[in-house]
Amino acid sequence: MIQQCRKPDDEADSLVLPALNLFNNSSVSIIHLDEMNFLRNRLVVLGLVLLATLLLYLLLPSIRQGNMEPSLEAQKKGQMATPPPPPLQASNVSIRTGQLPGDPPLFFREALPVDGAGRQILPRLQVVLLHGQAFTSNTWEELGTLALLATNGYQALAMDLPGYGKSPDSEALKTDQNRVDLLSRFMESLGVRAAVLLSPSMSGHYSIPFLMKNSAQLHGFIPIAPVGTRSYTPQQYQNIQTPTLIVFGALDTNLGAQSHKNLIQLPHHFVLKLEGARHACYMDKPREFHQGLIDFLSKLK
């Protein structure tokens, strides 16, 4: 009886064991499949992250800025990707070039004022234009600024600063006074009296000391995010009576914001903030810059 009772159990065991083995094999297969799906999903996510990083690297390099003036590549890159719109009321104006002797010789471009018929007239004011580190006097010709000034009755003189464009470098320009003397020589040699001095960026090494020492010789001052504004006290700024148009780009959070903070201490100032513009804001927004320039000049007596 005992044997007869155990025999069915043995048969049941023989049926259950293969079933358990089949179940275990299926579980292993399911686990392997889940692991493969998990790894595949992780690879997809990693690929998307790498792609997004690459796109950010390619699209956003131009917004990075240094501690002082942006590098030459940063200033030049993308500035002239599309030609600027034609300047206000500009026409065919004759622009002559010349070079003043001295140490160093100074190359310049000049546009004389003309009336609506193109006839030369006496200037309303004389405007001297300096330039930033990545540019030269030719920038103001290509942008149409020289022609614009001439057709609005102003004499425009754009200089290549020493070591830039066609003006050789010189060891005799290591001090503020040396640079002030150079600007004085340039203006006196060309018969400029009571000029309006326009000065972007790096040229602040020349214009800011000149403003502090010889402000009585200036009819107006147009700093465009210049260097060197932190070197002077609030009282020194408040002593300056020269009408000033402070220009900077809204995206220039370095020199633009810094120079604006210091220059607004000048008692007779106006501000031209160019929205959507970077450090060389006159290149990004030439029409708005030119309009602000002419508006400011028209206010000067």
Does the pLDDT of residue 55 top 60, yes or no?
no
What's the CATH fold of domain 72-299?
Rossmann fold (3.40.50)
Does the pLDDT of residue 16 top 90, yes or no?
no
Q: Residue 19 has what pLDDT?
A: 43
Q: Residue 40 has what pLDDT?
A: 66
Report, as an integer, the average pLDDT of 176-186. Answer: 97
Does the pLDDT of residue 191 top 70, yes or no?
yes
Q: 140 with 158: CB under 8 angstroms?
A: yes
More confident site: 262 or 93: 262
Does the pLDDT of residue 201 top 80, yes or no?
yes
- In this structure, the strands spanning 218-224 and 195-200 are parallel
Report, as an integer, the average pLDDT of 25-35. Answer: 49
More confident site: 20 or 57: 57
Report, as an integer, the average pLDDT of 52-80. Answer: 45
Q: If phi over 0 gives left and psi between -120 and 50 gives alpha, with beta otherwise, what is residue 191?
A: left
Backbone angles phi, psi at 45, to 5 degrees: -60, -45
Mean confidence (pLDDT) of the chain: 82
- Under the banding of pLDDT at 50, 70 and 90, the label for residue 281 is very high
Q: 109 with 140: CB under 8 angstroms?
A: yes
Does the pLDDT of residue 141 top 80, yes or no?
yes
- Under the banding of pLDDT at 50, 70 and 90, the label for residue 34 is low
> Catalytic amino acids?
201, 252, 279
3-state DSSP helix/strand/coil percent for the chain, to nearest 5?
50, 15, 35
Residues ≥6 apart with Cβ < 8 Å to 11:
none
DSSP state at residue 278: -
Q: What is the pLDDT of residues 211-259, one digit of tens each?
A: 999 999 999 999 999 999 999 999 999 999 999 999 999 999 999 999 9
Q: What is the pLDDT of residues 81-139, one digit of tens each?
A: 334 444 454 566 889 999 999 999 999 999 999 888 878 899 999 999 999 999 999 99
Q: Residue 301 has what pLDDT?
A: 77
Question: Helix, strand, or coil here: 165?
Answer: coil
Q: Residue 60 has what pLDDT?
A: 43
Residues ≥6 apart with Cβ < 8 Å to 288:
272, 274, 277
